[in-house]
Structure 1
């Protein structure tokens, strides 16, 4: 149980740091998701607009 508590304290300390690994991981995840939405979403929206105008 103390091992889990030590890991939790280390995680909380890492989150509270400005340059923590956890924040870098979440930054990388959100940047990747934004790029995916931008690269896949914009052509899909253009396709939908094209389909609507061809009615």
Structure 2
């Protein structure tokens, strides 16, 4: 079953993107996007919620 929501991690977090660049978050709790719909990828912006479940 595909994951619909974000992956929650304890921060701070550093993520290496496919192009080799890195991005960081120093928040105490970080939500990583798993659906790739986020405009702030790799950080979740709750875009997964807008999909209708039919």
TM bracket (short chain): under 0.3
Name the one with the larger strand percent: 2
Which structure is larger by alpha-carbon Rg, 1 or 2?
Answer: 1
Higher relative contact order (CA closer than 8 Å, sequence separation 6+): 2
